Structure 1
Amino acid sequence: MSTQLTTPTDRQSAEALAHSKGEPSWLVAQRGQAAELSATLPWPKPEKVKIERWNLTAVGQYEATTAVSSLTELPQTVQELIAEGTENLLVQKNTGVVWSQLSKELADKGVIFTDLETAAKEHSELVEKYLFQAIKLDENKLTALNAALWNGGVFVYVPKNVEVELPLQAILYNDKAEATFAPHILIVAEDNSRVTYVDSVVTAKDSVTAEFTHPAIVEVFVKPGALVRFGSVHALGESGVDLSLRRAVVEKDGRIEWIIGDLNDGNTVSDTKSVLVGHGSTSDTKVISVGQHKQQMSLTTQAVHFGKSSDSNMITRAVMRDSASAIINGITKIEHGATKANGVQAEKVLMLSSKARGDANPILLIDEDDVTAGHAASVGQVNPEQVYYLMSRGITKPDAERLIIHGFLAPVVDEVPVEAVRDQLNQLLERKLEG
């Protein structure tokens, strides 16, 4: 079964699809509203990146998916990303989830880990309370488009005082450009809970050559005293455009840790933002990226401080090869009243080619006196003597560049506190460097 959706879609087709999937009435109405808004709202306007020149309308069509009976039915490149021995795994293929598994121990504690479509039906009131509350569906065309079209997706709910010791893992992949691939991830961590969520967003190798757009949204709600570790590695194909917005709302003494690897082969807009609304709330963000060929990338990290004694730290490291270009934005905003807040950021870009381009923009917006804030930024080319030295020792130029890239990114990768995320970063980084 397939249902064609044009872009911008119309209310009638969006609602018809929602009805056909048995979605609750509030979600049907929300999709219809978003479909209408997507026709009038503008696209986001990342600084110095003209995304309107990209093909942003290749969202494909909805196609029902069939669950797999064994993980061995998945593509080999997907199987390689599954953490060994994991009991908590969700896999989405194109428009729908094909595998979902949660340990009985966590289920008995009230933990919910399932696809968002199922959660909207089985936990309707809970999903309705949080869906499109951290990111409003009418912010721009991208948010409205995701609200109208999102499919599959992930829903995580951790009850009060529950600690999830092992990571929850999701793999979201596409192997068909003509199928809509627009996941929405929603995580709610109640008071004093702990959870680590890890995902990989990938294109099955050599299976997609036509153009496609991946409009994705992540919303995380960190309640008082809770800790959420969110690790995500994106490695979509060269013909794709990745448009990913992530936002966390962090309450009193809560903590969000973002670990993002933007390793796509196509054009990318990645925006990761923490809103520190509670006193003593904290955010730590680490982003790495590698661009090559003619890729264009806009990578933004943000922290907005409302709470007193709130703390944010942001680190971005990007490597540009060939004719790739990247705009790296770090934005720390300390609102009036957020006394004793502290915001620190650092952006570094390494260029391995005279044709590569990098632009690091640290931005501090301070509306309060009694705070501390700092930034560091650097953009530079690799020292050719390093390459020549390695080549003089019998190392080929591609291998020499690979060693330099690993050395440049290692200070961030090695600090990643979650082993599963480190493994995925290194694995997908090697896959990208090998072409």
Structure 2
Amino acid sequence: MSTQTNSPVNQSLAEALSRSKQEPAWLTAFRTEAVEAAQTLEWPKPEKMNIARWNLDLFGQYKASDKVAEIAALPEAIRELVAESSANLLVQHNSGVVLTQLSEELRSKGVIFTDLETAVREHEELVKPHLFNTINKNENKLTALHAALWSGGVFVYVPKNVEVELPLQALLYSDDAEATFAPHILIVADNHSRVTYVDHVITNFGEGAAASIHQSIVEVVVKPGAQVQFATIHQLGETVSDLTLRRAVIENDGRIEWIVGDLQDGNILSDTLSLLKGNGSTSDAKVISIGSGSQKMSLTTQAVHFGKSSDSNMVTRAVMKEQGTAIINGITKIEKGATKANGVQTEKVLMLSPQARGDANPILLIDEDDVTAGHAASVGQVNPEQIYYLMSRGISRQEAERLIIHGFLTPVVSEIPIEAVRGRLHKLLERKLGS
């Protein structure tokens, strides 16, 4: 079936969408309430970037996808993107998830790895308390519309004291510019559990594709003593505006690691926030991006400290080519009472063109005295002395620049937890850098 979701979105449409998926009554009501809220809310207003000028009303159509039982039954274009070590895998094709597979070992331990649409029906007691709990659906127009229109998506639950040794992998793929592409990702790591989740978000529309949007929200719940590593690579076409919000709540002695590769060709709104609620909670965020053409990119990384002795570290590195524009915001907020908290952030932009623009904005908001906080930011071109040194060793200028750029990005790239994904990321870097 197909359900039209072009703007303006109305309540009857959201209700019909929910009922077509056989969702529980509370979720149907939630979607219709979100539509009503969206009518009066405004789009997000990131620092120095007016995304309201982007064409954001291209919601497309919800298009059901045929499920498959094994990787071999996936379309060839999707199979080529699946890593060889994919024992635990989820694939979303356009609006719906078509494949999920999880090892029997993890099933026997109580691990859940499935699409969010199924989880809502079969694991309501785990989903309902956490869905849109780390982020308010009424925060802005984007969050409200996503709450009304999300489809497919991912749900991960790791029980107490369970450690998932192999990463859980998701491929979120769209090859139809008219299809709604709005996955919602919800990860819940119970007390003293550990899990690594990796996804690859990609569009493949071909030449002449119509403009479209990818809207996504990620929610991660890190219970006391749990550890979550979340790695994501975005590779979307130049006609796609990527709107992605990531939120994590970390309780006592919990830890979240964000690894974000924003390597798409279209406009980007990327906002990653860690809420350090618990004492001894930790957040580590690494973001890389390469801007080219006339791309507009708003990359924001945030950490808000509530817990005592909480710790956050944020590193963002961007390379800008041609006429690309990047606004990079790092925000560390330490609330009153978060004694012994430590927040450090670094934003660096490497410019490869005089027409490119990169702004690095480190922001510290400190409401407590007994804390440690620091920041560093730089925007500059490739160092000519480094170029000269490498060329004096017989290396060409082009190769020297390539080596310097890769060295600039390596601190983030090396953190990707799967070798096959690291290799794919290297290929994407080469493509975007024109090497």
TM-score under structure 1 normalisation?
Answer: 0.95
CA-CA distance at 1:358 after TM superposition: 0.4
CA distance in 1, matches of 2:412, 2:260: 11
Provide the identity percentage.
68
CA spacing shift, 1:303–1:16, aligned 2, 3 Å: same
**Deviation by residue 1:219-272 (Cα, 9 ceiling, x = unmatched):** 000000000000011111100000000000000000000000000100001000
> How does 1:232-381 map onto structure 2 within 5 Å?
232-381=232-381
Contact 1:293 1:323 in 2 (8 A): yes
Matched to 2:116, the amino acid is: L
- Is residue 30 from structure 1 mapped to residue 30 from structure 2 by the alignment? yes
| SS in structure 2 at match of 1:428 | helix
What displacement does 1:281 show?
0.3
| TM-superposed deviation, 1:410 | 1.2
* Superposed displacement of residue 416, structure 1: 4.4
What are the equivalent positions in structure 2 for 1:168-247 lying under 5 Å apart?
A: 168-204=168-204, 206=206, 209-247=209-247
Kindly indicate whether the alpha-carbon contact (under 8 Å) linking 2:292 and 2:432 is maintained by their aligned counterparts in 1.
no
Matched residues in 2 for 1:219 and 1:82: separation?
24
Displacement after TM superposition at 1:81 (Å): 3.3
What is the alpha-carbon distance in structure 2 between the residues aligned to residue 72 and residue 394 of structure 1?
44
Secondary structure in 1 aligned to 2:323?
Answer: coil
The one-letter amino acid paired with 1:317 is R
Secondary structure of 1:368 counterpart: coil
Moved more, 32-41 or 217-226: 32-41
Structure 1 residue 401 displacement after superposition? 4.2
Cα pair distance change 1:220/1:208, threshold 3 Å = farther
User: Residue 423 of structure 1 aligns with which residue?
Assistant: 423
Shift, 1:424, TM fit: 4.0
Partners of 2:355 and 2:72 in 1: CA distance: 43
Which shifted more, 198-207 or 114-123? Answer: 198-207
Distance change >3 Å, CA 66–CA 208, structure 1 → 2: farther
1:90 and 2:83 aligned: no
State the SS of the aligned residue for 2:91.
strand
The residue aligned with 2:40 is 40
Distance 1:144 1:291 in 2: 28
Aligned residues of 1:201 and 1:233 also touching (Cα < 8 A): yes
Correspondence for 1:130: 130
Code of the residue aligned with 1:113 in structure 2: it is F
Unaligned runs of 5+ in 1: none
Q: Deviations over 1:376-427 (max 9, x none)?
A: 1000012356567778957474x55433321210123224455455334323
How far 1:124 moved relative to its partner?
1.5
Say which is worse superposed, 117-126 or 239-248, in terms of deviation. 117-126
Structure 1 segments of 4+ aligned residues over 6 angstroms from their partners:
388-392
Q: Secondary structure at the match of 1:378?
A: strand
Corresponding residue for residue 116 of structure 1: 116
Query: 1:388–1:212: structure 2 CA closer, same or farther, 3 Å change rule?
Result: farther
Which deviates more, 421-430 or 153-162? Answer: 421-430
Q: Shift in Å at residue 77 of structure 1?
A: 5.2
1:50-90 CA-partner distances (Å, limit 9, x unpaired): 11111111110111111235434545554343221321000
Structure 1 Cα separation of the partners of residues 384 and 71 of structure 2: 45
Q: Does the aligned pair in 2 maintain the 1:75–1:204 contact within 8 Å?
A: no
Question: TM (normalized to structure 2)?
Answer: 0.95
Question: Using a 3 Å threshold, how does the CA distance of structure 1 residues 9 and 213 change in structure 2: closer, same or farther?
Answer: same
My pick for the range that moved more, 313-322 or 49-58, is 49-58
User: Which segments of 5 or more consecutive residues in structure 2 lack a partner in the other structure?
Assistant: none
Contact 2:92/2:99 (CA < 8 Å) preserved in 1? yes
The answer to whether the Cα contact below 8 Å between 2:333 and 2:364 also exists between their aligned partners in 1 is: yes
Deviates more, 1:213-222 or 1:197-206: 197-206
Distance 1:205 1:78, change over 3 A: farther
Q: Which is further off, 402-411 or 319-328? A: 402-411
